[in-house]
Chains A and B, each alone.
Chain A
């Protein structure tokens, strides 16, 4: 029997390629995350004294789950940056201590730290109120 050779070269089908490509697409769609992560430095005061540099002015903010005390006055967290800007104008070397109650959520503390960032406070410390 004589084998007849086809004059046309055998074609490679595109269908398996498409299958693989779709599986790759599915994998990357499911495995990829677009959530961007950033970070903030956690600076908790270590000793009993919140600020060892006593020559620098210190502003202590008291944070509870419901209120934020700035100089003994209750303010909203969103107002903090504006209040701090006023204070920083007269005292540029201000150290801010955020003293939070232990029940305050991490999110609330981060909101306060964000306000410090907005006012460009570089020197801040976190502290936990053990009394409450």
Chain B
């Protein structure tokens, strides 16, 4: 029979649940965290699989929007051209006058035996040399053309303009 509360006789005395011990409460806490960790791991897997980590994207270029669906390879030789006239080769700033020489040197580095030459020469064919141009959408055609002349002087047979989805 339940004991009556001496102050409030109409009420039952509250039952105090004593935890089985410190360990048990710690266990409960950690068990509550398991779904959270599962979720966080799933998020990590999502970001790992769905996204790409691309260091070159740190250069503030906004490429033109296009409906083109031709994919770009992961490893590629990239010339970035900013709206203010700065030119980068694979993320390193290059003076405009030195772009041709820098491209030739870069091509020589990547064509060396044992080093992945796919960057410059994806088909493996010696006469197909591809450079990807990440040009800002606000550049003028004249600026693009003069840059293209410098790139073609390095023996590049194909220059592809990088675009982004609209």
**B160 with A35: CB separation less than 8 A:** no
Complex: A103 Cα to B141 Cα, angstroms: 6
**A25 with B47: CB separation less than 8 A:** yes
User: Are A36 and B164 CB-contacts (below 8 A) given A8-B23, A21-B44, A42-B159?
Assistant: yes
Contacts of B133 in A (CB 8 A): 42
Interface size of A by Cβ–Cβ distance < 8 Å? 41
Other-chain residue from A31, A37, A101 in contact with B162 (beta carbon distance below 8 A): A37
Most buried by B among A18, A24, A105, A111: A105
Q: Could you tell me the distance in whole angstroms from the C-beta of A31 to the nearest C-beta in chain B? A: 5
Q: Which residue of A lies closest to B47 (CB)?
A: A28
Chain B, interface size: which category? 35 or more
Q: Which of A18-67 contact B (CB under 8 A)?
A: 18, 21-22, 24-25, 28-29, 31-42, 44
User: Are A107 and B47 CB-contacts (below 8 A) given A39-B163, A102-B141?
Assistant: no
Q: Could you tell me the distance in whole angstroms from the C-beta of B133 to the nearest C-beta in chain A? A: 7
**B148 with A42: CB separation less than 8 A:** yes
**A37 with B72: CB separation less than 8 A:** yes
User: Are A128 and B141 CB-contacts (below 8 A) given A38-B68, A107-B64?
Assistant: yes
Q: Could you tell me the distance in whole angstroms from the C-beta of A22 to the nearest C-beta in chain B? A: 7
Contacts of A37 in B (CB 8 A): 63, 71-72, 162-164
Complex: A41 Cα to B128 Cα, angstroms: 13
Interface presence of A89 (CB below 8 A)? no
Contacts of A38 in B (CB 8 A): 66, 68-72, 162-165
**A117 with B53: CB separation less than 8 A:** no
Closest 8 CB pairs of A and B: A32-B51, A102-B142, A28-B47, A107-B137, A39-B160, A110-B64, A107-B64, A38-B68
Interface residues of B (CB under 8 A from A): 23, 26, 30, 33-34, 36-37, 40-41, 43-44, 47-48, 50-54, 57, 63-72, 132-133, 135-142, 144-145, 148, 158-165
Can you sample 8 A-B contacts with CB below 8 Å?
A14-B30, A32-B53, A36-B165, A38-B70, A41-B161, A42-B133, A101-B141, A110-B65
